Structure 1
Amino acid sequence: MIISEVDKKIIRALQNDFPIVSEPYKAIAGEIGISEESLMQRLALMKETGVLRKMGAVLRHMDVGFKANALVVWVVPEEIMDEVAQKMCAHPAVTHCYDRNTAPNWPYNFYTMIHGDSEEYCASLVKQLSEETGIKEYELQFTEKEWKKTSMKYYME
Structure 2
Amino acid sequence: MLDLLDINIIRKIQEDIPIVQEPYKQIAKELGISEDELLDKIHRLCSNGIIRRFGAILNHRNAGFTSNAMVVWNIPMERIKEASKIMVKFSSVSHCYRRPIFPEWPYNIFTMIHGETKEQCEKIVEEISKASKISDYVILYSTCELKKTSMKYFNDEIFHSVF
**TM-score, normalised with respect to structure 1:** 0.93
Residue identity matched to 1:41: D
1:104 partner SS: coil
Contact 1:75 1:109 in 2 (8 A): yes
| Runs of 4+ displaced beyond 6 Å | none
Residue identity matched to 1:21: V
What residue ranges of structure 2 are gaps of 5+ in the alignment?
A: none
How is 1:8-157 mapped onto 2 (pairs within 5 angstroms)? 8-156=7-155, 157=159
Aligned residue pairs: how many?
Answer: 156
User: Root-mean-square deviation (CA), in Å?
Assistant: 1.2
What residue ranges of structure 1 are gaps of 5+ in the alignment?
A: none
Contact 1:96 1:112 in 2 (8 A): yes
| % identity of equivalent residues | 43
What is residue 4 of structure 2 aligned with on the other side? Answer: 5
**TM-score, normalised with respect to structure 2:** 0.90
Contact 1:62 1:146 in 2 (8 A): no
1:130 partner SS: helix
